[in-house]
Amino acid sequence: MSCLSWNCRGLGNPQTKGELVDLVNKKDPKMIFLMETKVDQEVIERICRRLQYTNSFVVPRISRGGGLALLWKQGIRVTVMNFSERYIDTVIDHGMNDAWRFIGFYGDPDTANWENSWSLLRDLSSRFSIPWVCLGDFNEIIRVEEKQGWLDRPERQMQGFRDAIDFCGLKDLGFNGFPFTWCNRRPGDQNVWVRLDQGLASVEWMLRFTTCCIHHLDAFHSDHKPILLISDSEQKRFYCKGRPFRFEAMWLKDNSCEEVVKNSWQEVSDPSSVCMVTKQIINCQDNLRIWNCDTFGHVRLSLVEKLKGAEERGLYRSDPAHIH
C-alpha cells in the first residue's frame, strides 16, 4: 500500500507536471491524491495516461481554483463512495472481509470556514465502520511545534482540529524527513514553515498496516511538499543492498536528525532486552537512511547535474577530477 498526496498548486505549469512525473517514477505509488489541480478533467486524464495509471477520478475545479484528483494503478480495487470539493471518499476492496477506507482530504484554506472542515470530518467518520486512513492538506496543525516563524498559532484554533480528530478516533501517523510541509517563501523574519499536510488513521487501520508511515518529500514548483504514505518494505526497495551503514557528520547540521533518532529509539518496548536493543539499532539505521534520502537526495542530484554540466564545458574531468 502506498499513496502520494500533494497540494500541487496547479498542474497547468509544465514544470509542475514534470516534477510530478519525476516523483511518481522515483517512488512508484499505487495511488496519487492531488489537490488544487486548477485544470480541467481532460488535462488530468492526459497526465494519467502519461504516468501509466489506468484509473482516475476527478472533482472539477471551481472557476480557476480548486480541483481534486485521485489516480490509481491497475489491480487496485478502488470504489469512490462520495466526494465534494473538499474530499474524495473511497473504499479499497469493497465487499471483501479485509476492505478498508481511504479519504483524500483538503481542509478549507479560509480561517473563517475551518469549523466546516471539522464538521465534515466528523460526518465522514460516521458513514462507515471499517478501518480508514485520511491523507491530505488539512490547513491546520495539531501542536504548536508544527509551526515555525512569525506569529504563534492560536490554541483555540488548533483545539478545534484536535477535537475533530478525537471524535473520529484518528491518530497522527507521524512522519520522516523535514518537519514541515508548507512555506510562505517570504524572506527573513516573515518566513513561515508549517506542517499542514499529514496522514491520520484509525487504530484498526494502523494495526492492519503496522509498517506504514509518512515521508515528507521535496518539491520546488509548489509551496507544499508532497507526502508519501508507504510501508517500510516498499520504501527499502529504493536503497542499495549490502552497503554498510555509516553515520554522516553532515546529518548533525539538520535539527530533524535528532528527532529521527529519538523516534526510532522510543519504539523499544522492552529496553532491558538485548535483542530488542539490537533490533532498534537496526531500525534506527534504516530510518536514518530513509531520512537521509528524503532530506539530502535533491542536493546530491543537483551536485551531479552541475558536475555533468562542467564536464561538458571542459571545466571538469571525472577521471581523475581536475578543475582547469
In terms of average pLDDT, the best of 37-46, 151-160, 315-324 is 37-46
Cα 193 from Cα 265, distance rounded (Å): 26
Whether residues 213 and 268 share a domain: the answer is: no
Give the three cell numbers for residue 96.
471483501
Amino acid making up residue 207 = L
Whether residues 163 and 268 share a domain: the answer is: no
The 8-class DSSP code of residue 220 comes to S
Band of residue 321 on the pLDDT scale cut at 50, 70, 90: very low
Whether residues 158 and 302 share a domain: the answer is: no
Query: What residues pair up with 84 in beta bridges, in sequence order?
Result: 87
**What pLDDT shows up at residue 36?**
96
For residue 314, pLDDT beyond 70: no
Separation in Å, CA 216 to CA 4, 12, 81, 82, 275: 10, 23, 28, 28, 30
Cα 213 from Cα 229, distance rounded (Å): 6
Give the three cell numbers for residue 127.
458513514
Give the end of a domain, one of 211, 238, 265.
238
Whether residues 85 and 153 share a domain: the answer is: yes
**What pLDDT shows up at residue 316?**
43
Whether residues 206 and 279 share a domain: the answer is: no
Describe the crossing of helices 41-51 and 14-27 by its angle, rounded to 10 degrees: 40
Query: What residues pair up with 231 in beta bridges, in sequence order?
Result: 212
Higher pLDDT, 33 or 253: 33
Domain of residue 303: give its range.
242-324
Whether residues 129 and 43 share a domain: the answer is: yes
**What pLDDT shows up at residue 322?**
37
Cα 82 from Cα 103, distance rounded (Å): 10
**What pLDDT shows up at residue 15?**
93
Give the end of a domain, one of 207, 238, 269.
238
Band of residue 317 on the pLDDT scale cut at 50, 70, 90: very low
**What pLDDT shows up at residue 259?**
82
**What pLDDT shows up at residue 151?**
80
**What pLDDT shows up at residue 246?**
76
Contact (CB, 8 A) for 144 and 153: yes
131-135, 173-177, 320-324: the lowest-pLDDT one: 320-324
What predicted TM-score, i.e. pTM, was given to this entire model?
0.74
Give the three cell numbers for residue 21.
512525473
**What pLDDT shows up at residue 98?**
93
Q: Who's near 164: CB < 8 A, 6+ residues apart?
A: 117, 118, 119, 121, 122
**What pLDDT shows up at residue 320?**
36
Whether residues 183 and 301 share a domain: the answer is: no
Of 54, 61, 70, which Cα lies nearest the Cα of 103? 70
Q: Who's near 171: CB < 8 A, 6+ residues apart?
A: 165, 200, 201, 202, 203, 206
Over residues 119-153, the pLDDT tens digits come to: 999 999 999 899 999 999 999 999 999 999 888 88
**What pLDDT shows up at residue 323?**
33
Q: What is the mean pLDDT of residues 219-236?
A: 85
Cα 236 from Cα 239, distance rounded (Å): 5
For the chain, the domain total comes to 2
Whether residues 174 and 256 share a domain: the answer is: no
Identify the CATH number of the domain in which residue 166 sits. 3.60.10.10
Give the end of a domain, one of 238, 270, 304.
238
Whether residues 253 and 228 share a domain: the answer is: no
For residue 235, pLDDT beyond 80: no
Give the three cell numbers for residue 308.
555533468
Of 218, 187, 86, which Cα lies nearest the Cα of 139? 86
Over the chain, what is the mean pLDDT?
Answer: 85
Cα 105 from Cα 55, distance rounded (Å): 19
